[in-house]
Amino acid sequence: MNPKLQARNRILLRKLSIVAIGMFGFGFALVPLYEKICQVTGINQVVKADTTVVSTQVDKSRLLTIEFDSNSRGEVGWKLEPLERKRPVHPGELIQVVYELKNPTATTVAGQAIPSYGPQIAGRYVKKLDCFCFSQQEIRAGETRQLPVAFVIDPDLPDEVHTVTLSYTMFEVGGTRREAALPAPKG
Amino acid sequence: MQAVDAHGHDHAHDHAPSGIMRYVTTTNHKDIGTLYLWFSFAMFLVGGAMALTIRAELFQPGLQVVNPDFFNQMTTLHGLIMVFGAIMPAFVGFANWQIPMMIGAPDMAFPRMNNWSFWLLPPAALLLIISMLVPGGSAAAGWTLYPPLTVQHGMGMDLVIFAIHILGMSSIMGSINIITTILNMRAPGMTLMKMPLFVWTWLITAYLLIAVMPVLAGAVTMTLTDRHFGTHFFNAAGGGDPVLFQHIFWFFGHPEVYVIAIPAFGVVSQVLPAFSRKPLFGYTSMVYATASIAILSFLVWAHHMYTVGMPVEAQLYYMFATMLIAVPTGVKVFNWVATMWKGSLSFETPMLFAIGFLFLFTLGGFTCLVLARSPVDAQLHVTYYLVAPVHYVMVAGALFAAFAGVYFWLPKWIGKMYDETLGQWHFWLSMIFFNVTFFVQHFLGLAGMPRRIPDYALQFADFNMISSIGAFGFGLSQLLFLYILLKAIRSGEKAPERPWEGADTLEWTHLPTPAPYHSFETAPTVK
Amino acid sequence: MRLPAILRFFSLALATILPGMAVAAWEMNFQAPKTVLAQDIYDLHTLIMIIIVVIFVGVFGFMFYSIVKHRKSVGHKASHFHENTTVEVIWTVVPFLILVGMAWPATKTLLAMRDTSAPDMTIKATGYQWKWGYEYLDDDIRFYSTLATPRDQIEGAAAKNENYLLEVDNPVVVPVGKKVRVLVTANDVLHAWYVPALAVKQDAVPGFIRDTWFKAEETGVFRGQCAELCGKEHGFMPIVVKVVSEAEYRQWVAEQKAAAGAAAFDPSKTYDKAELMAKGEQIYNTHCVACHQPDGSGMPPTFPAIKGGKITTGPVAKHIDIVVNGSTKNPMMVAWGPQLSALEIAAVVTYQRNALGNKLGTVVQPSEIVAAGN
């Protein structure tokens, strides 16, 4: 092979390698990109307060049903439950609801609640002002804790939505489980 | 396969060691092509044995042969080994043998890198096999490796991830080599639009591979860090999302389908004109159609995820974009049929496999068209209606094209002819058993049988039994292929200089048969 | 040469040769649709199939004509044309138009499918490894639904039932003609809630709820399966939906509520060993057997043995703890506390310590489980 050709080949090799490395990076860039897209479309709301203050105009002409739901994950013996299952509300109205987290086990666990919405599109219109999902909850063995959420349904919610489900899943924060001495404390 | 050294006597590697060491150290594109092809055939048999394990378990309702966990490992490894170990290396083998000869280049652009990219494959394959033997077994989450199931797995999963990294590295190195060879090493006068279509398809495939293999590597790397280093890419607990993996995976996965199919298009586009004794119809539109399929393949990935619960707008977009792919694919099929039209056709084994490809690939393509319609897909997703088209594209598509290619170029490679009668037997057995195996799976899918289950309800029993019988027939037919190859190599008749009168690319017109060990030391001039 | 004919002969030949083949009707299409949406999908599929068959026959009609008439062996001489712009434009544009035409009905069906607004009732389905949990949000009914097919049928020791692998202990019961919204989520890994006759399939993603809906047009029992690989028992977590009349539904709801009341037991009551063992065996065979195996030998290392196991023959407190709270080291051992009652846990622990080759003699009372914090 003549040296000139070799040099051209090397240049191309370098360029293509850069493309390959770039694409590896692109795979990772998809992560924030996806989060951004989800945020915009409201599929997967990030766990932060909605700072954009929505119009506080209450739309009395429209009545929605808000369902409250919870999931407690299997590896931990705790239970997260809303104190009420559903409530009729008007869009724009400030809604406060309490969830109860019970840890009947003999271990101290820290958890993070992740919100989710049904239908998905509703996620864009649930504006949370305060939520226990903004921070981790460390719950001691045998403790019961009341966890409040305050939110407003944006009156821009599409007309065809009549029922919104707000669901929280309690996830254990990895490696935070601390065993209490066995046997478990009575009661 | 003894290659004859015709005129390369002044080269250092002529004094390369013989026997096994010749292959370990070789930088010759023909030797490496041979290695790729044999490796892929070996992996084809391994993956095939796994498929037969699956079909044996599914022969009857109830658990008889393997336990459900091992069954899941089989479906996973069968997919990974067939895609990354058998089909992709087979076409890289074709690329190694054919591209330099077809464009009038002496060798690949980076012969040493070529050697490395092959020798990465056996360790990766070994890792996949070893992963079955570690405690907890291999990955059992399907070849798509969806988390969070992959996070539950044992060490076998890590081995599979490493194997995928190595396989990806090999593919990327191979692709860079192929692109550089095609762009920089063409003989004078061989303009891009004069290249044989096989070379074009590989140029496009290589670009696809460079774009998507790193993305897959990224996805499995994230799985690895999620498993061991406390990251939360795919875990909702830390703000991640399991569905994100599916997006990244299919960003790789959909183009990957074309990585496998496009070189097959290339082989068929060489074989059909040769046996029709007529030039390929619509060469220019073939090139453009292939390129547009490649580009569109990046824009449709989420049609593999219609049931995850995407916003309805996204679902509509993916449905329309997916249907668009049918247009260039249709153009290709029409062009192939038009190539045959008013030709002077003869039906030697390569032609039979090419026609088999055309017929079954189109059938598979049509079922994909059914699936493109998202409401219908929502019913058929993850049923056997998915298993069937995938195998129409991978087996009847890619594998049949590879068989066509082997029978077509074998005389050029080894200078001997295969047994034509046995070759035709191989085709007809493969064709019939393939359809017995997979056609009935459409019915299973429609009736609602999910894939990846080791046991099934009684209403699915009949078709499963037929499918299993077909699978064993198909598997055994491939042993005939091995016999045909060995027979040709040991005692095949000497091939004539131009075994196929209609084949007119450089390797047939400018090189003796068999092709010398070093070809085109001085570039030919293409008019 | 004509392949479809060959194929049909071949499969028919197989059908007559193989015994038992003619017993079941050969189901070659979708299951009979039981909702308007399922019917739409069925029709959509039929429409597409007709279009496809027409195109297929057209294209391959040309090819087979060519194969028969333009062969070298009949002395056909090859023409040398290799392009024709008009033809190429036509076969790019026409398929495009056909596709657009096919997209229209699909879009309409898709929009209807995704419209979960204004439901008459809502059920939450949660996928577990390997069973479904259901929650009726309006009536506060909760239960788990596990495979009812006995293990020995799966292993071939007994004849298989008609609804082999498609039967559960507690089916989902819904009223006919009502729009039922299903919230789908998962507890551990991905699952999918799939009932073909009702045309519902929704992936269950842990940490997220997704919704889908169906409105059954007639009463009956409709069966489906988990449709996303979720581990080794993926094939063994069916879904059964029983569609009943409004009145029967009301009655069922009342029964469920009464049963929930009756299930509340007196924690101070002492149960005798035989009673606990009987109940424990039942629980073991429903919930434990898949991983720990019918003989208690497990599948080490992921699923440790019950028979002579370190925990099952060790201190009873530790045994109760791992059943109630799950394992801190092995994610496959989930916490059963939230899923089983104290009585059920006491029974299964007693069973594990006195059967499957273990003879510890320990009898665990529900009151001890309650005391341990459940």
- What's the count of helices (H) and strands (E) in chain A, helices before strands? 1, 10
Residues of C (151-210) whose Cβ lies below 8 Å from B? 153-156, 160, 162-166, 188-190, 192, 194, 196, 199, 201-203, 205-208, 210
Q: Which residues from C are below 8 Å from A81, CB to CB?
A: none
Residue B371 has pLDDT above 80, yes or no: yes
Query: Where do we find the tokens 């079909």?
Result: B55
First to last CA, chain A: 84
Q: List the catalytic residue out of B254, B391, B426, B518.
A: B254
Contact B331 C83 (CB under 8 A): no
From A187's Cα to the closest Cα of chain B, the distance in A is 30
Q: What pLDDT is recorded for position A1?
A: 65
Task: Report DSSP letters for C324-352, one per residue.
Answer: HH--SS-TTS---TTTS-HHHHHHHHHHH
Of the partner residues B243, B378, B443, the one whose CB lies closest to the CB of residue C205: B243
Q: Which residue has the higher pLDDT, C78 or A43?
A: C78
- Triad B412, B414, B419: Cα angle to 5°: 90
Q: Is B451 noted as a catalytic residue in this protein?
A: yes
pLDDT of the residue at A176? 53
Pick the catalytic residue from B165, B304, B381, B416: B304
Round the average pLDDT of chain C to a whole number and report it.
83
Q: Sort out which chain B residues have CB atoms less than 8 A from C82's CB and list them.
A: 278-283
Superfamily of domain B22-509: Cytochrome c oxidase-like, subunit I domain (1.20.210.10)
Q: Which residues of C206-227 are buried (b: 16+ CB within 10 A; e: fewer)?
A: bbbbbbbbbbbbeeeebbbbbb
* Average pLDDT over every residue of A159-173: 82
Minimal CA separation from B149 to chain A, in Å: 15
Which chain B residues have a beta carbon less than 8 Å from that of A16? Answer: 175-176, 179-180, 210
Q: Which residues contact B96 (CB under 8 A, 6 or more apart)?
A: B29, B30, B32, B33, B36, B108, B114
Q: Which residues contact C266 (CB under 8 A, 6 or more apart)?
A: none
Could you tell me what percent of chain C has a pLDDT over 70?
90
- Asked if A121's CB is within 8 angstroms of B311's CB, the reply is yes
Query: Do B211 and A18 meet the contact criterion of CB atoms below 8 Å apart?
Result: no
Q: Residue B412 catalytic? A: no
User: Could you tell me how many CB contacts below 8 A there are between chain A and chain C?
Assistant: 118
For B433-476, what is each residue's pLDDT tens digit?
Answer: 999 999 999 999 999 999 999 999 998 999 999 999 999 999 99
For residue B252, the chain A residue with the least C-alpha distance is A27
On the question of pLDDT at A75 being above 80, the answer is no
Q: What percent of chain B has pLDDT over 70?
A: 97
User: Looking at A92-101, B372-381, C14-23, C72-81, which range is the least confident one?
Assistant: C14-23
In this structure, is the dihedral angle defined by the CA atoms of residues C334, C338, C339 and C342, taken in order, positive or negative? Answer: positive
Distance from CA of A91 to the nearest CA of B (A): 22
pLDDT at residue B250 greater than cutoff 90: yes
Q: What is the pLDDT confidence band of residue B508, given thresholds at 50, 70 and 90?
A: very high
Name the residue facing A105 among C140, C207, C373 (closest C-beta): C373
Q: Based on the number of CB atoms within 10 Å of its own CB, is B119 exposed (0-12), middle (13-18) or buried (19 or more)?
A: middle
Give the confidence band of A52 by pLDDT, cuts at 50, 70, 90.
Answer: low
**pLDDT at site B40:** 96
Note whether B475 and B421 are within 8 A (CB).
Answer: no
3-state helix, strand, coil in chain B (%, to 5): 70, 0, 30
Confidence of residue C264 (pLDDT cuts 50, 70, 90): low
- Cβ of B323 within 8 Å of Cβ of C99? The answer is yes
Mean pLDDT of A32-48: 64
Q: Is C56 helix (H, G, I), strand (E, B) or coil?
A: helix
Q: Is residue C54 within 8 angstroms of chain B, CB to CB? A: no
Spatial CB neighbours of C23, under 8 Å, sequence gap ≥ 6:
none
**Residue A107 pLDDT level (bands cut at 50, 70, 90):** confident
Query: Residue B176 and residue A17: Cβ atoms within 8 Å?
Result: yes
Question: How do the domains of chain B map onto residue ranges?
Answer: 22-509
Checking if the pLDDT of B398 tops 60, the result is: yes
How large is the C-alpha radius of gyration of chain B?
A: 23
Q: Measure the CA angle with vertex C206, ends B320 and B312; round to 5°.
A: 20
Question: Which of B359-363, C4-8, C136-140, C323-327 has the least mean pLDDT?
Answer: C4-8
pTM: 0.86
Question: Given this model, what pLDDT does residue B7 score?
Answer: 43
Q: What is the pLDDT of residues B197-241, one digit of tens each?
A: 999 999 999 999 999 999 999 999 999 998 888 888 888 777 788
Q: Which amino acid does the sequence have at B399?
A: L
| DSSP 8-state symbol, C160 | P
In this structure, are strands A107-118 and A86-89 parallel, antiparallel, or unpaired?
A: unpaired
Q: Region C307-334: what's the mean pLDDT?
A: 80
Answer yes or no: is pLDDT of B415 > 80. yes
Q: Decide if B254 is catalytic.
A: yes
Annotated active-site residue B226? The verdict is: no
Residue B376 has what pLDDT?
A: 86
Tell me the average pLDDT across C328-347: 78
Only one residue has tokens 């696809």, namely B208
Cα radius of gyration (chain C): 28
Identify from C208, C318, C332, C334 which residue to disrupt to test chain A contact, counting A C-beta atoms within 10 A and taking the largest count: C208
- In chain A, which residues touch C (CB < 8 A)? 44, 67, 69, 71-79, 85-86, 104-107, 114, 116-120, 141-142, 160-163, 165, 167, 169, 171, 177, 179, 182-187
pLDDT value of residue B97: 95
Nearest CA in chain B to A116: B236
Exactly one of B329, B339, B374, B383 is catalytic; which is it? B329
CB-based contact (8 Å) between C112 and chain A?
Answer: no
Does the beta carbon of C128 lie under 8 angstroms from any beta carbon of chain A?
A: yes
Q: Report how far residue B257's alpha carbon sits from residue B353's, in angstroms, rounded to the nearest whole number.
A: 20
